[in-house]
Amino acid sequence: MNYPTRRRRRVRVLSRQHPNRQSLNPAAFGGRTNTRRAFGPKSRSMGKARLLIALAIAAFSFISYMGSKEFNPVTGESQHIGLAKHQEIAMGKQSAPQLIQQFGGLHPDPQLQDVVDRIGHKIVQSSRAAETEWAYDFHLLRDPQTVNAFALPGGQVFITYALFEQLRTEGELAGVLGHEIGHVVARHSTQRIAKENLRNGLTMAVILGTGVDPGAADMAGRLISMKYGREDELESDALGVDFMADAGYDPRALIGVMEVLAGAAGGERPPEFMSTHPSPENRVGMIHSAIEEKYPSGVPGGLTP
């Protein structure tokens, strides 16, 4: 997904709000025009200066990335992040309106919005997700065609109406939301952004060294179209199982979600979810394992399906 008309403005706003990120953002260097003006092929000394700056940027990007390690108490992992939690929350909130607009706005039915909101918050409050300080917010998007769900950094969670209407039980909705809460808690997008910034910093160094500018990316667009790795998806499934079960939902409902998605794949509206997530068939086995780990002597009765 591209956002060509808003690209320049959005990048500038983000740079201003997150001064720490500025030096790692190619846009902060002034883009194509300024780069050419400052580092045009004028003289040998200019070329040498350019190379030194390129090396400095490469070194700075690498040191910033390596120095950004942070422990995640819920997943038990050490992650490269490079963003303070309040910055991460602000980044998600700032990108939310653009994402909502992209999917036709919020769904107009307040009762359906309420269902998504209530179940989302119930999962957070009853699980280890409550130990985190993210500003959780749950939204039903109007889009009747795109079968998908998203999480922005900091706690903004979205599900499209096209996916919502195909879910058969409250537990299945809890499965989708639990999975997305998993992405938030595990800070998957932010971790990817840190990696991307390292790559951008190194790319910037190459640009200065070679004079080639591949263009700067828009942060909101990047967040929305971001693909998590397979490991991230499986981790979110496992976290989703844990969170939804603690909130009183039968975690086997997440397998039901995979069936819905697999069914939709063969139908007239192949889910967008497929292009950003591993195939549902591949995930079912891992979800079974996560359920066994949660309940070694079997899933107890009385959970909401």
**Number of C-beta neighbours around residue 160 at 10 A:** 25
The distance of closest approach from Cβ of residue 256 to Zn ion in the complex, given in angstroms and rounded to an integer, is 16
**Number of C-beta neighbours around residue 265 at 10 A:** 16
Stretch that binds Zn ion, among 137-145, 153-161, 235-243, 264-272 (CB under 5 A): 235-243
Q: Which of 87, 236 has the CB closer to Zn ion?
A: 236
Strand partners, 70: 79
Residues 236-275 that bind Zn ion (CB under 5 A): 236
The distance of closest approach from Cβ of residue 163 to Zn ion in the complex, given in angstroms and rounded to an integer, is 12
Stretch that binds Zn ion, among 9-17, 114-122, 229-237, 256-264 (CB under 5 A): 229-237
Binding mask 79-98 for Zn ion (x = CB under 5 A): --------------------
Q: Which of 126, 276 has the CB closer to Zn ion?
A: 276
Q: Which of 218, 233 has the CB closer to Zn ion?
A: 233
Residues 111-140 that bind Zn ion (CB under 5 A): none
Q: Rounded to an integer, what distance in angstroms lies between the CA atom of residue 22 and that of residue 20? A: 6
Q: Which of 127, 236 has the CB closer to Zn ion?
A: 236
Q: Which of 137, 233 has the CB closer to Zn ion?
A: 233
**H helix intervals, 67-187:** 85-102, 110-126, 161-164, 170-185
Q: In a 10 Å sphere around its CB, with 0-12 CB exposed, 13-18 middle and 19+ buried, how is residue 221 labelled?
A: buried
Strand partners, 106: 141
The distance of closest approach from Cβ of residue 147 to Zn ion in the complex, given in angstroms and rounded to an integer, is 13
Size of the site for Zn ion (CB under 5 A): 2
Stretch that binds Zn ion, among 11-19, 110-118, 125-133, 232-240 (CB under 5 A): 232-240
Q: Which of 54, 264 has the CB closer to Zn ion?
A: 264
Taking alpha carbons only, the member of 276, 259, 255, 277 closest to residue 267 is 259
Tokens of 263: 């069914």
The distance of closest approach from Cβ of residue 293 to Zn ion in the complex, given in angstroms and rounded to an integer, is 19
CB contact at 8 A, 186 and 236: yes
**H helix intervals, the chain:** 7-17, 19-22, 31-39, 44-66, 85-102, 110-126, 161-164, 170-185, 188-210, 219-225, 230-246, 253-266, 273-276, 280-294
The distance of closest approach from Cβ of residue 188 to Zn ion in the complex, given in angstroms and rounded to an integer, is 8
Q: Which of 143, 180 has the CB closer to Zn ion?
A: 180
The distance of closest approach from Cβ of residue 233 to Zn ion in the complex, given in angstroms and rounded to an integer, is 5
Q: What are phi and psi of 113, to 5 degrees?
A: -55, -40
User: Which residues bind to Zn ion, rule: CB under 5 A?
Assistant: 233, 236
